[in-house]
Amino acid sequence: MGFVVLLYHRVHPELGLSPKIFRKQMEFLKNHFNLIKLENLQNSKKFPSAMVTFDDGFSDFLFYAFPILKELSIPAVLFVSPDRVLDTKGIRTSAEDSNVSTYDAFKNSFLRGDNSPFLSWGELRYLESTGLVSVESHGLTHRAVLGKGKPYKEGKDWRIFSLPEDERKRVKEGTELTSILVSEKGKSEEELRLSKGILEEKLGKKVKALAWPWGIYSERAVKVARSLGYEFCFTTERGFNRGNYCRIKRLAVGNKKGMFWFRTRSLLYSL
């Protein structure tokens, strides 16, 4: 038997999955699944088993998702990019900074260095200290590494905000975005190595897992990640997990999916 890994991004009353629906989903998992911590992933034999993961490290996790996880004692893995962590030691008591759309949060972070919609180092350390949350790598800058991307589309293509100004100009002049976004070998190694190193230094822990930024990766990228000490690599691909810890598939939970969809899909992909 395998296990299902659920992929979330945001839990927010207006800008993500509603906390009410998230609670119902977590209660279903609590009542029907063996819930896995990252450290126990390779040893889990019970059926059905599930793991909860969040990508990007938005600050709404602290205010809307984590209280529910804590109440129900559900572990989670939080994938963050160090370049998008708010550089403060404090822990906020208000969710005000999270009231920013995902698109604007990406744009303001990449173009202005405004990371206020994302979790801070102090908040990440607090979440780690609870024993419920494992903070892991999502690349250094959220830039795609060594894989095939999708061509740039005019309008709200968020990927362009991960580029330096000169490269954004090249895209607008006609250079294919994919050829810039997908790093060459040296850059890819740097993205993954620095992300791991910074997280380990800031959080005082060993980083074991990586979620590919934009879901883009390749055979070569997997080899690079393994050589740097990543034991688990999480994709955005849907499917069944059969012990390949270099290509762990995840079930993305959309903001408008109902409970019937959630129950049937989570059970199906845990087979």
Of 250 and 221, the one with more pLDDT:
250
Average the pLDDT over each of 62-71, 166-175, 204-213, 226-235 and give the range with the smallest value.
166-175
Residue 82 has a pLDDT of 95
- Write the pLDDT tens digit of every residue in 55-90: 999 999 999 999 999 999 999 999 999 999 999 999
Q: Which residues contact 152 (CB under 8 A, 6 or more apart)?
A: 159, 160, 171, 176, 177, 178
Q: What is the residue whose two structure tokens read 């205010």?
A: 63
- Write the pLDDT tens digit of every residue in 10-68: 999 999 999 999 999 999 999 999 999 999 998 888 899 999 999 999 999 999 999 99
Average the pLDDT over each of 100-109, 135-144, 172-181, 221-230 and give the range with the smallest value.
172-181
- Write the pLDDT tens digit of every residue in 233-252: 999 999 999 889 999 999 99
Average pLDDT rounded to a whole number, residues 211-233 = 90
Q: Distance between CA atoms of 234 and 128, rounded to whole angstroms?
A: 20
Question: pLDDT confidence of 152, banded at 50, 70, 90?
Answer: very low
pLDDT at 180 over 50: no
Q: What domains are defined for the chain?
A: 4-147+182-268 (3.20.20.370)
Residue 142 has a pLDDT of 64
pLDDT at 109 over 70: yes
